[in-house]
Amino acid sequence: MTDLPTALGASPDVPAGPIDPAVEAALASSAVARAEALLEFARIPSVSALPEHAEDMVRAAEWVAERLRRVGATDVAVERTALHPIVYGRIHEAPGAPTALVYCHYDVQPVDPVELWETAPWEPFLRDGRFVGRGVADDKGQLVMHLSALEALRTAGRAPAVNLTFVFEGEEEYGSQSLYAWIEANRDRLEADVAIISDTCYFEGNVPAITVGLRGIMYAQIDVELSPVDLHSGMYGGSVENPANALARIITALKGPDGRIRIPGFYDDVVAPTDAEREAMAALPFDDEAYRAEIPVPALVGEAGWTTLERKTARPTLDVNGMWSGFQGEGAKTIIPAHAHAKISTRLVANQDPATVYAALRDYVAEIAPPGVTVSTTYIHGGEPSLTPIDHPATQAAARAIEAVHGVAPVYIREGGSIPVTAAFDHSLGLPVVLLGFTQPTCNAHAPNETFLLENFELGTRVIVRFWDELATLPR
Ligand SMILES: [Zn+2]
């Protein structure tokens, strides 16, 4: 059993002053209870992907709902969906102030390979300034931070200075399929001025950061068909098109050696990063060689005219994710394959639209398809990119909160991946999204020994408290 007071004794001193002294006092006196709450929550194996954990999912949802009720949230509900429940609640006690939608997820990734964990993954611990256990960083720690901020406000006799509506999801690690329909069906309960998503990281080296952009995705498959069965390459070779060769020519035409995607219109809707954003990105402590060596790969390549960091976060991409055709066994088999296939995906940036990009790909593939084979393109799935400008008042409110607590201004980063709910809040509800995440980049999310630094847990909780105060001053 972890000796919590000792573990907490090793924690860094929190600077005094950035938040209401009464709330600070409440946080200071609840440090052990808050850490214990995270450990208790992380002991619930709420793995959304595995059917055997269905009851644990309900247990985790109920745990969250109970905590929301305890801090005086109203309309608390564990909402049934086709799969795992969504926990809803609200604290609307600031008439005239803006409303923020707060999102975290209570589901976690599976824990295998279990033998690589320092301890049993469902027996989380706090030692030497770090929480270790499945979900402590992604995303239970961050959810507990929001609950902790509320508790401390209540202890201090206060209500949040903004109106808060909580949406805690249980399918983030499993595609968020239930969430979209639920959002559509509950738009009137989700009216807000801004969405706050706490499910991202600080920058490399644990530098406080605000993520302003996420990429979207468009995933498709290209199928090239020649004949019902493979053909003898001696009898037919030279007289028919080879689907594998044809597919290779199509793929080659999609992207040039300069890294530019050649689908006509592909870049039409791309919002280029501003000069200020490019300067800020260039100033980030990012080392190309260290990045290359860590992967490791022989060399870094990408679109001409952009830095590695820009290429992997702020620029769209096109990649073959898989391809197959013909004989793949050992030795030789002299055939012309009957068919050839490729899975293709593009990572999208604001304001590209997956459906538009798909249509452009489909039309271009049809145009360049060689004669003698049948070529078809199929849409598999898509997700929209999102971008909240650095100078948006909500982003700036978050920046002031981070600077007040950490003593340094945050850096602004983009992430190359996607958080689907972001696009749902951004496009479906039309809300500006603040991605205010607190985990250190080395948190081993989704991997063995998932870790959350106590320092981030403590400081981040204070950032949340301050952020709500800052948001209250937002023009409506
Ligand atoms: Zn997450």
For the stretch 278-284, contacts whose Cβ atoms lie closer than 8 Å and that sit 24 or more positions apart, written own/partner, are 278/310, 280/390, 280/411, 280/412, 281/307, 281/309, 281/310, 281/314, 281/413, 282/307, 284/203, 284/207, 284/309, 284/411, 284/413
Written as one letter, the residue type at 447 is: A
Rounded to the nearest whole angstrom, what is the distance from the C-alpha of residue 416 to the centroid of ligand 1? 15
Instruction: Report the pLDDT value the prediction gives residue 419, as an integer from 0 to 100.
Output: 84
Written as one letter, the residue type at 222 is: I
Instruction: Report the pLDDT value the prediction gives residue 10, as an integer from 0 to 100.
Output: 41
Rounded to the nearest whole angstrom, what is the distance from the C-alpha of residue 106 to the centroid of ligand 1? 9
Rounded to the nearest whole angstrom, what is the distance from the C-alpha of residue 77 to the centroid of ligand 1? 22
Tokens of 396: 């700036």
Instruction: Report the pLDDT value the prediction gives residue 270, as an integer from 0 to 100.
Output: 97
CB 243 within 8 A of CB 325: yes
Rounded to the nearest whole angstrom, what is the distance from the C-alpha of residue 189 to the centroid of ligand 1? 23
Which is the catalytic residue, given 172, 230, 384, 450? 172
Distance CA 118, CA 123 (A): 10
Q: How many C-beta atoms lie closer than 10 Å to residue 263's C-beta?
A: 19
Rounded to the nearest whole angstrom, what is the distance from the C-alpha of residue 142 to the centroid of ligand 1? 9
Distance CA 369, CA 376 (A): 9
Give the residue-averaged pLDDT of 423-430. Answer: 90
Tens digits of residue pLDDT in 259-281: 999 999 999 999 999 998 999 89
Phi first, then psi: what are they for 155, rounded to 5°?
-60, -35
Instruction: Report the pLDDT value the prediction gives residue 6, as an integer from 0 to 100.
Output: 53
Rounded to the nearest whole angstrom, what is the distance from the C-alpha of residue 420 to the centroid of ligand 1? 11
310 Cβ neighbours under 8 A, 6+ residues apart: 273, 278, 281
Residue 12 has pLDDT above 50, yes or no: no
What is the rounded end-to-end Cα distance, in angstroms, of the chain?
A: 49
Which is the catalytic residue, given 24, 56, 107, 230? 107
Confidence of residue 4 (pLDDT cuts 50, 70, 90): low
Residue 371 has pLDDT above 70, yes or no: yes
Instruction: Report the pLDDT value the prediction gives residue 276, as an integer from 0 to 100.
Output: 87
Residue 14 has pLDDT above 60, yes or no: no
CB 27 within 8 A of CB 152: yes
Q: What percent of the chain has pLDDT over 70?
A: 97
Nearest partner of 357 among 337, 335, 385, 333, judged by Cα: 385
Rounded to the nearest whole angstrom, what is the distance from the C-alpha of residue 312 to the centroid of ligand 1? 20
Instruction: Report the pLDDT value the prediction gives residue 316, as an integer from 0 to 100.
Output: 98
Give the residue-averaged pLDDT of 438-460. Answer: 96
CB 253 within 8 A of CB 246: no
Q: If DSSP states are collapsed to H, E and C, what string results for the chain?
A: CCCHHHHHHCCCCCCCCCCCHHHHHHHHHCHHHHHHHHHHHHCCCCECCCHHHHHHHHHHHHHHHHHHHHCCCEEEEEECCCCCCEEEEEECCCCCCCEEEEEEECCECCCCCHHHCCCCCCCCEEECCEEECCCCCCCHHHHHHHHHHHHHHHHCCCCCCCEEEEEEECCHHHCCHHHHHHHHHCHHHHCCCEEEECCCECECCCECEEEEEECEEEEEEEEEECCCCCEEHHHHCCCCCCHHHHHHHHHHHHECCCCCECCCCCCCCCCCCCHHHHHHHHCCCCCHHHHHHHCCCCCCCCCCCCCHHHHHHCCCEEEEEEEEECCCCCCCCCEECCEEEEEEEEEECCCCCHHHHHHHHHHHHHHHCCCCCEEEEEEEEEECCEECCCCCHHHHHHHHHHHHHHCCCCEEEEECCCCHHHHHHHHHCCCCEEECCCECCCCCCCCCCCEEEHHHHHHHHHHHHHHHHHHCCCCC
Rounded to the nearest whole angstrom, what is the distance from the C-alpha of residue 135 to the centroid of ligand 1? 8
Confidence of residue 175 (pLDDT cuts 50, 70, 90): confident
Residue 376 has pLDDT above 60, yes or no: yes
Phi first, then psi: what are they for 163, rounded to 5°?
-85, 135
Rounded to the nearest whole angstrom, what is the distance from the C-alpha of residue 371 to the centroid of ligand 1? 46
Q: What percent of the chain has pLDDT over 90?
A: 90
**pTM score of the predicted model:** 0.88
470 is catalytic: no
Confidence of residue 236 (pLDDT cuts 50, 70, 90): very high
Tens digits of residue pLDDT in 380-422: 999 999 999 899 999 999 999 999 999 999 999 999 988 888 9
Tens digits of residue pLDDT in 320-347: 999 999 999 999 999 999 999 999 999 9
Distance CA 473, CA 476 (A): 9
Phi first, then psi: what are they for 316, rounded to 5°?
-75, 160
Instruction: Report the pLDDT value the prediction gives residue 423, as an integer from 0 to 100.
Output: 85
288 is catalytic: no
Confidence of residue 54 (pLDDT cuts 50, 70, 90): very high
Confidence of residue 206 (pLDDT cuts 50, 70, 90): very high
Distance, CA of 212 to chain centre: 12
Please state which of the ranges 5-9, 168-172, 183-187, 457-461 shows the lowest mean pLDDT: 5-9
Please state which of the ranges 225-234, 278-287, 463-472 shows the lowest mean pLDDT: 278-287
Give the residue-averaged pLDDT of 304-323. Answer: 97
Distance CA 411, CA 398 (A): 11
CB 222 within 8 A of CB 341: yes
Residue 1 has pLDDT above 70, yes or no: no
Rounded to the nearest whole angstrom, what is the distance from the C-alpha of residue 472 to the centroid of ligand 1? 27
| In the block, residue with structure tokens 């609307």 | 92
Rounded to the nearest whole angstrom, what is the distance from the C-alpha of residue 446 to the centroid of ligand 1? 9
Rounded to the nearest whole angstrom, what is the distance from the C-alpha of residue 187 to the centroid of ligand 1? 23
Rounded to the nearest whole angstrom, what is the distance from the C-alpha of residue 452 to the centroid of ligand 1? 13
Beta bridge partners of 339: 225
- Cα dihedral 441, 427, 144, 446 in deg (nearest 10): -40
Report the mean per-residue pLDDT for the chain.
94
